[in-house]
Amino acid sequence: MKICLINNLYKPYNRGGAERVVEIIAEEFEKQGNEVFVISTKPFFVKCNLLVKNYYINSFYYNLHKLPKFLRLIWHFFDIFDILSYLKVKKILKKEKPDIIITHNLKGISYLVPKIIKNLKIKYIHTLHDIQLLHPSGLMIHGKEKIINNLFAKIYQAICKNIFNSPDVVISPSKWLMKMHEDRGFFKNSKKVIIPNPIILNKKLFNKIKEKNKKFIFLYVGQLEEHKGILFLINVFNKIENCELAVVGTGHCHVHENNNKNINFLGKLKNSEVNKLMQESDALIMPSLCYENSPTVIYEAFANGLPVISSNIGGSPELLKDGAGLLFQAGDENDLIKKINYAMEHKNELREMAKNGSKKIKEFSVEKYIEKLMVI
């Protein structure tokens, strides 16, 4: 079977969880003997010399954050109706003739892509990762939920509903995100399915027993952006002692100005290095201030036997139910400090949470994901 995956970013330009999900799916499809190609974007004037058969369309998307806010708003409008990218994608699909197309995030590629697929009468599956069809920023920050209900957002949503119409199947990793779209009239005639994101199982999973005199290590893995809660998290760790915080990731926050010796900034690491660090840590903290769909980093923590402490918004509570982690009130420093102290004082309970997370992960394997996808 020939399968086309479309996402606005792909390696070597990957930044977040959606790109990792697409990469995992592509590799598993190929492992099972399918022919796979990816359509994605790249910055202008950059050559992409990957050996695999993928297509990269020039786009401003990768460097969009560098533009002033008013120019970003203009770009979002033209991106919806990007006829040049539309024609390029149409040419690629006519040439390749895939049996099935699975789209993910389309911002930066053109929101007209679903119309191409419908016109070519190819089986079409769309996967939700965030709220970018509800608001062009794709972000909803805790305390600012009204952003997706103002007049501008409603006009934007009406345009997106009309353009996307109803793919054959719509997948969401969380019930929360699917409901957000259903409540606003999206995908009325689509088959809607909840499938957690896929993860590669770690066969070297083990239960960690640490030295008694070793400091408790908390871990943050993600983009160093304010909406991800990294500055909030640093402020919290400036108020507590007797533990360490390891920070993995890059971004635009000036975190290195922090002088706390118990916070170690490790920059961007390879996946194998992140896995090793997860196995050496005591708990992952996901302090996001924005509503996230189904954070990949939580899946990865489960796969490495690492308990999770997360803010209680978006799709994260769905992953941490059944005793798989601790939740705290988003943006509440005192509540997070309570959960951190609880974790350090109740190591046996924390190990049970890790076991509960590890039990869940078998259902999240990429093999299971592809199996469910092929039945749809």
- What domains, with CATH codes, occur in the chain? 2-200+365-375 (3.40.50.2000), 216-363 (3.40.50.2000)
**Lateral strand order in the sheet of 123-127:** 55-58, 35-42, 2-6, 100-103, 123-127, 169-172, 191-194
Q: State residue 206's pLDDT score.
A: 45
Q: State residue 207's pLDDT score.
A: 47
d(CA 147, CA 153): 7
Q: State residue 209's pLDDT score.
A: 43
Over the chain (376 residues), what is each successive 10-residue block's mean pLDDT?
96 86 94 96 78 84 87 89 95 97 95 95 96 94 95 95 94 97 96 92 54 78 94 94 93 77 91 92 97 92 94 96 94 97 94 90 87 88
E strands in the chain: 2-6, 35-42, 55-58, 100-103, 123-127, 169-172, 191-194, 216-221, 243-248, 263-267, 283-286, 308-311, 325-328
Q: State residue 202's pLDDT score.
A: 62
Q: Which H or E run includes 49?
A: none
d(CA 56, CA 47): 9
pTM above 0.85, yes or no: yes
Q: State residue 197's pLDDT score.
A: 92
Encoded amino acid at 238, one letter: N
**Lateral strand order in the sheet of 216-221:** 263-267, 243-248, 216-221, 283-286, 308-311, 325-328
